[in-house]
Amino acid sequence: MDELNNGNQRGDSYAGTETRAPAALRTILIAMLLGALAGAGVAYIAINTRIAPIARSGVVTVQVAAPLNIAEPNAAQSPTIQYVAEIAGPSVLEVTTDIMITHPFWGSYITGGAGSAVVLSEDGYLITNNHVISDASAIKVRTIYGDSYEAVLIGADAASDVAVLRVDAAGLRPVTFADSDAAKVGELAIAIGNPLGTLGGTVTEGIISAKDRAITVDGDAMVLLQTSAAINPGNSGGGLFNGAGNLVGLVSMKSSGDDIEGLGFAIPSNIVRRIATELIEHGYVTGRPALGVSVQSITRWNDLMRFQLDEPGIYVMNVLRDSPIDLWDQIVAINGMEIQSETDVKAAISACASGDTAEVIVRRQSRTYTLQITLSEKTPEMTDADMY
């Protein structure tokens, strides 16, 4: 498959907080940047701390639609794009983010990102993509009516690319979830979002062009809806709606290339609803398996010499206590799958469930061992430590 790009947009840097450039050059650069900001009518404030998740507050009730009956359409009942835009448009918000970058020469500065979000509940819970808000130090959302809010992160899941935000607002219009399993290839699909980060409320139409597309992104296997509706950077986190105006998917990415058009993807609404509920209730997705190790691919000759290793491979760099795996074990295979990369480790573990027993073959000091390891449940602490 051609290269897949996440659909958020990260703009150029526009505000410096620290620099080691000469004073004259710094003055010229600041003047140029401020001029650009004035022309764009945008102002950002540097924030040096990453957003911390806030406390969760119980269960959110979401609206689930009755099955959409399109077996016998007629002129009076056939779905229209205008109807969907009117009822679903207010449920899609613009997202802008501040991202702190530290450069060895220019110091610390802020860059901007943009995307979309959909309203989960009228009291301020929102859903977007994890990649839209990843590494953000500040998040703002804006409704189609022009109301702006500071958003806080409730929880995020990189494996499914789903994140939950919350704003201090009331009376928002939540989406109604369609049953994505019942979606039909060829039915109307309407994307609403914030393409290019500046065109909030944009509506594009197409069809559901395929279901159950297996896509691997950063080592995580995803099963997505495919759509012909136009998807552009900034659409990520926005809604893909059916002809009744119900959310059938969360827009996630598009396929890019000079000769590629009309090939976008969305996370099915049933998955989005399940992940969002887990994030709100627990702060992470429960039941995910973990081997309890972090690994690194060591292939360069000088690294092998430095660590006194015999051959290139995937080596254990960190391990939970009470594990039969040792530091500097080379992982050879997991459940019969040959391990040649860190992605292979993730894929092999993801095929299991927490509580399963995995057969792990390791090479330790020129000897090979076959270990039986009970997989634990992956916690946020393991995720933060890049453990599989």
Q: Is the pLDDT of residue 250 over 80?
A: yes
> What integer is the mean pLDDT of 240-267?
81
pLDDT for the residue numbered 339: 96
SS3 209: strand
Q: What CA–CA distances, in Å, run from 279 to 94, 115, 242, 273?
A: 21, 20, 25, 10
pLDDT for the residue numbered 255: 52
| DSSP-derived pairing of the beta strands 63-64 and 176-177 | parallel
Domain 4-65+79-282 and domain 289-384, same fold? Reply is no
Q: What CA–CA distances, in Å, run from 355 to 284, 288, 293, 377?
A: 18, 10, 16, 8
- Rounded to two decimals, the pTM is 0.76
Among 13-17, 102-106, 196-200, 306-310, which stretch is predicted with the lowest mean pLDDT?
13-17
Q: Is the pLDDT of residue 10 over 50?
A: no
pLDDT for the residue numbered 183: 96
Catalytic residues: 131, 161, 236
pLDDT for the residue numbered 60: 65
Q: Which fold has domain 289-384?
A: Pdz3 Domain (2.30.42)
Q: Write out pLDDT tens, residues 288-320.
A: 999 999 999 999 999 999 999 989 999 999 998
pLDDT for the residue numbered 7: 42
Task: Check residues 253 and 226 and name the one with the higher pLDDT.
Answer: 226
- What are the domain boundaries of the chain? 4-65+79-282, 289-384
pLDDT for the residue numbered 101: 81
% of the chain residues with pLDDT over 90: 62
- Residues 353 and 347: their CA atoms lie apart, in Å, by 12
Q: Write out pLDDT tens, residues 329-367.
A: 999 999 999 999 998 999 899 889 999 999 999 999 889
Task: Check residues 135 and 61 and name the one with the higher pLDDT.
Answer: 135
Q: Which fold has domain 4-65+79-282?
A: Thrombin, subunit H (2.40.10)
Q: What angle do CA 192, 242, 75 make, to 5 degrees?
A: 115
SS3 268: strand
Instruction: Label residue 79 by pLDDT band (50, 70, 90).
Output: low
Burial 288-306 (b: 16+ CB within 10 A, else e): bbbbbbbbebbeeeeebee
Mean pLDDT of the chain: 82
User: CB-based contacts of 277: which residues, under 8 Å, 6+ apart?
Assistant: 59, 60, 62
Instruction: Label residue 263 by pLDDT band (50, 70, 90).
Output: confident
Q: Write out pLDDT tens, residues 199-248.
A: 999 999 999 999 999 887 776 788 999 999 999 989 999 999 999 999 99
> What integer is the mean pLDDT of 369-379?
94
Q: Is the pLDDT of residue 103 over 90?
A: no
Among 84-98, 103-117, 160-174, 296-310, which stretch is predicted with the lowest mean pLDDT?
103-117
Q: What CA–CA distances, in Å, run from 131 to 80, 162, 345, 387?
A: 31, 8, 22, 19
Q: Is the pLDDT of residue 58 over 60?
A: no
pLDDT for the residue numbered 261: 62
Q: Is the pLDDT of residue 51 over 90?
A: no
pLDDT for the residue numbered 59: 57
pLDDT for the residue numbered 325: 95
- Residues 114 and 118: their CA atoms lie apart, in Å, by 14
